[in-house]
């Protein structure tokens, strides 16, 4: 989600069936906060704690985007945005519904943020063990491994602490 302008947010909402008739600058700021907070939450799936300010931001955003429970024709219950929400509140409610459904079906922990700080792209971890750290091994993973290799190979590095690493 790239939200450079209010028009970007309006287009995004329209393409996802969300009402965006009254979208303004405050909605754009809220959408950006939501995007970054969800990235932080997804990064927690790689073993990093959710920062307290992120948890507080998500709580505030979700308070302003209430959900209801809908029952379909066969009796299944699912969360739904409260009718009448528009702009960032509608987007936040939709994200909240998606998170709840993903948590219920066990896929939420597989949604992760790339460990590369310059990337942080959110991706779905398809690895069998669910332990991937990078959005793509061929780019972000390769860069991280090359950095680690260079750090280990640097001649000015103190080797006394790592000389026995890996030997048993």
3-state secondary structure (DSSP) of residue 28: helix
Q: How far apart are CA 116 and CA 100, in angstroms?
A: 27
Backbone angles phi, psi at 123, to 5 degrees: -140, 165
Pairing type for strands 122-124 and 67-71 reads unpaired
pLDDT number for residue 146: 77
pLDDT number for residue 126: 92
pLDDT number for residue 1: 66
Backbone angles phi, psi at 126, to 5 degrees: -90, 0
* 33 Cβ contact partners less than 8 Å away, ≥ 6 residues apart: 57, 61
3-state secondary structure (DSSP) of residue 130: coil
pLDDT number for residue 134: 80
Q: How far apart are CA 93 and CA 100, in angstroms?
A: 11
pLDDT number for residue 118: 82
Q: How far apart are CA 64 and CA 129, in angstroms?
A: 36
The pTM (predicted TM-score) of the whole model is 0.78
Q: How far apart are CA 65 and CA 90, in angstroms?
A: 7
What is the radius of gyration, based on Cα positions, of the chain? 20
Return averaged pLDDT per consecutive 10 residues of the chain, 168 residues in all: 88 88 90 94 91 93 95 95 92 96 95 87 90 78 75 70 48
């Amino acid at each position: 989600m790239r939200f450079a302008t209010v028009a970007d947010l309006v287009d995004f909402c329209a393409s996802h069936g969300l009402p965006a008739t009254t979208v303004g600058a405050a909605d754009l700021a809220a959408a950006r906060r939501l995007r970054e907070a969800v990235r932080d939450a997804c990064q927690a799936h790689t073993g990093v704690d959710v920062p307290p300010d992120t948890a507080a931001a998500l709580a505030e955003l979700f308070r302003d985007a209430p959900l209801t429970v809908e029952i379909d024709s066969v009796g299944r219950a699912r969360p739904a945005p409260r009718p009448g929400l528009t702009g960032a509140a509608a987007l936040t409610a939709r994200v909240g519904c998606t998170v709840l459904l993903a948590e219920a079906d066990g896929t939420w922990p597989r949604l992760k943020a790339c460990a590369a700080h310059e990337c942080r792209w959110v991706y779905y971890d398809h690895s069998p063990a669910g332990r991937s750290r990078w959005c793509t091994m061929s780019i972000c993973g390769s860069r991280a491994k090359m950095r680690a290799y260079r750090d280990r190979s640097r001649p000015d590095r103190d080797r006394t602490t790592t000389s026995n690493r890996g030997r048993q």
